[in-house]
């Protein structure tokens, strides 16, 4: 997941990966709109000011979010497994290798 930081002035720093993917440079405009699932979608805005959707951005963000959630669940399960070994068997999981 890529995070953006909001400054005290309300400005958002768009991560380098996202800027490169959108092919935007300093001074370019971005449009932020809400889709039917209540998610905010970031898209390039052409010089005329009419937003131009970036195909697949919302889907890519969803896949990343799901992958991160799966990673988090695996890490939590591994932590619980280590705690279980310590509690029930008095084993240190690091000694099992």
Q: How far apart, in whole angstroms, are the C-alpha atoms of residue 28 and residue 16?
A: 14
| pLDDT tens-digit series, residues 61-82 | 888 889 999 999 999 999 998 8
Task: Identify the DSSP state of 61.
Answer: H
Which residues, in sequence order, are bridge partners of residue 45? 29
Residue that wins the pLDDT comparison between 17 and 95: 17
| pLDDT tens-digit series, residues 3-60 | 788 889 988 888 888 888 888 888 888 888 888 888 888 888 866 655 566 677 778 8
Could you give the count of Cα atoms lying within 13 Å of 60 in the half-sphere of its Cβ? 11
Which value, to the nearest 10 degrees, does the dihedral of the CA atoms of residues 12, 13, 18, 23 take? 90
| 5-90, CATH topology level | Pemi-like Protein 1; Chain: D (2.10.260)
Domain boundaries, the chain: 5-90
Could you give the count of Cα atoms lying within 13 Å of 80 in the half-sphere of its Cβ? 6
């Amino acid at each position: 997941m890529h995070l953006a930081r909001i400054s005290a002035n309300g400005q958002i720093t768009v991560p380098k990966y996202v800027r490169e993917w959108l092919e935007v440079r300093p001074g370019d405009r971005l449009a932020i709109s809400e889709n039917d699932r209540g998610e905010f979608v970031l898209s390039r805005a052409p010089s005329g000011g009419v937003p131009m959707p970036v195909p697949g951005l919302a889907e890519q963000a969803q896949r990343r979010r799901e992958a991160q959630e799966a990673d988090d669940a695996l890490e939590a399960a591994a932590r619980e497994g280590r705690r279980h070994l310590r509690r029930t068997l008095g084993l240190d999981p690091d000694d099992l290798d």
